[in-house]
Structure 1
Amino acid sequence: MKLVWVSIYNGIVYPLIFLLACLLSMFNGKLRQGISGRFNSLSKLNLYFKSSSPLPIVYWFHAASLGEFYQVKPVLEGLKDVKPDLKTIVSFSSPSGFNNAKSAAIDLKIFMPFDFPWSVRKALKVVRPKKVIFASYDIWPNMIWIAGWRQIHTNMFAARVKDGSIKLQPGFLNFYRSIYRSLATIYTVAEKDRKRIRSIVGKVTKPAIKVLGNPRYDMVMQSADDFTTEHTRSVLSREKRIIIGSAHGEDDQFLIPALAGFMDSHPELKVLYAPHEPSEPEIERLQARFSDRGYSATVFRKKKNLTLPPDPVIILGVVGVLSKLYWQGQIAFVGGGLSTGIHNVMEPAIARLPVLFGPKYHHAHEAEELLESGGGFCVTSQDEFEAVIQSLIQDDAYFTQASLAATDVIHKNLGSSTRIIRSLIRD
């Protein structure tokens, strides 16, 4: 049955994906960069390993984008501490990951080669990795199948399968079974993920499936260490500021009217608004929308000296500093939940902020935990957003309870990266 799926994928599915991506790339700059990067991946691998003699021990990590890289990073850096002679490749599917992922533990950064059988064979022949390791969900069938046939250990960590996933649906289940059964080991985020993946692979001894958690919690805690010591004062004593993180256009349809209304009735309230992509046209559009509501928005572009000015409305015009700025607020809304899926809810949670987000959060285990703990709130409309904000700003006891609950979610999930590193070395 597996060979049938291999034939269908290579003869029909992936060629169609490739052709569609090439067509769409004519209208999408990010897609165009990704395809161009994939065309260069094999030459980059050849050039890097051409001078490697003897061949090093290589671990090849793959992350879809920057968010998944934050799961890879603590594992990658921990492995390097334990095995300093290890060579590491990190591949990406998206330009946002490739362009922005940074770590001294990365020896070579590439786009994932095209998933054609010949491309994968060439890449694996050049690299000869000891292990190929996928973060979370972005798995490429030929890379897994062919690595397995070559006796290369393949792993997926921080693995999740949400309830109602297409992977569990008739017609798709057998296809994903052929992929998951080809992995050597799978490390899931939670027990419910282990059970769902077990239902996909069936009653077989391979792959070994363990519950080891999500290393992204460790990454967030590590990044926040400087700020947890610096910002020891109570959250209630901070500036009364709502921070909107990684907002999409769908979010600001109700956010901006709601925020303007709150500032009208609570003059002490301030807003930091961070668009997901702070391009000049987007910043100007947001300034115009706030202006329509009677507020002049200042643009903050500093990457150092991050103390925010006392202006009522600030638009963040740079990337890479939002996690630090959460410490200058009291409440956070994280965008994406009304469109493609929510962004990072851990950064505001570790900064002790109650976190609001839209309904598309089921890919994020941490969002589910925030909801269960009372530190997170799912809102689907302006009315719901206003009701939650009103409850938080008028009741200090309720606010403090939500703030502590948000931070506790991070603390109780620490240690995953150490467990994953230990298992990757031993398995």
Structure 2
Amino acid sequence: MTLNRRSFLGTGLALGAALSAPRAIGQAKPRVVIVGGGAGGATAARYIAKDSQGAIDVILIEPTRTYYTCFFSNLYIGGFRELNSIAHNYGGLASEYGVNVVHDWVIGVDRDAKTVSTAAGHSLAYDRLIVAPGIDFVDGAVPGWSTAAQNKMPHSWKAGSQTQLLKAQIEAMPEGGTFCMVAPPNPYRCPPGPYERISMVAHVLKERNPTAKILVADPKPKFSKMALFQEGWERHYTGMVEWLGPDFGGGNVSVDPDAMTVDIDGSVEKVDVCNVIPAQKAGHIAQVAGLTDASGFCPIVPATMQSRMDENIHVLGDATIAGDMPKSGFSANSQAKVAAMAVRAALTGSRAFPAKFSNTCWSLIDTDDGVKVGASYQATEEKIAKVDGFISQTGEDAALRKATYEESLGWYAGITADMFG
């Protein structure tokens, strides 16, 4: 599948008085405002605009002109992709589907007035609001680390410049040096998966710096695809990766970015590169809008992805409490289609079908050694519930693992076309 890489062609509407003006009484078209242009927001914008055939005014607000996918960013670190291969723009949504793409920050939501305000001073009225803000980090989650230290100890959990920085640090490690990852607690955005990232770092070091060591401090006693990764690490990177779970101090970690040290349960390790992935919460605007609960994430109505705090707002992707669904780009894309259908039904009277969801997460362990896990889901009153699932098995032959990796390449081409047109 060939991706259409247009340069940004404008927003389709003027960003001055046209956006700032209040909705006219009796205005013909209902308006949907979407905050965040990732896998959830971009997909929702495209599907609402496409399937409503112009009956709904769709405004997508996203601060960046170039969107780098978190999924497949680990493959860039591992040398399997170029950075520009995970970079996408919004020109297709504007020119092909008539989405009004506004590059700005949303700084406030007035739920009573049904308006959002932006950093540039615009106030946009909505009939329905879709919030897809991704994640932010929990302050103090890793003692000694804050976003002020992210250039010394990068998180690389938001793709782009952070991903470039981490890759450069890995490639500049001294011979026999130490790479350390401070892995996140559940729940966390994935992909980029922490353990695929370890595999990609090991792949680079095996080629460039084979006496280097990788240390993983993990607060979790187990993780997704654990047996598959540990089998792969032993097969491809024998003796390079040391994983320390909570029984070995992985849950009691602090860092000193200036000294480049990691304290693991009282044992201080001098490291050359430290990838700190803190605990996460819904993106800031979800908190500002009052859409989060005590967990820091957003409770939703599974059948429609409506916020349980406000029926006129739908929340997508990593920011949600999505029951059995993981926080993945595939999940956000799937949830966006459910929300788009619900929004169209509410605003145009079109038919809405029962919500169904799906997800697959692929990971690359080494060249042509791909594994996956996935499931289908349905909406219940309480949550998005798993119906059935699948996972790669240990001991699979090389042909099957290569086919799994190639399947992931096809999926990437397909989902990015589904998001951006």
Same fold at TM > 0.5: no
TM-score calculated relative to the size of structure 2: 0.29
> Of Structure 1 and Structure 2, which has the larger fraction of its residues in helix?
1
TM-score calculated relative to the size of structure 1: 0.29
Larger radius of gyration: 1
> Of Structure 1 and Structure 2, which has the larger fraction of its residues in strand?
2
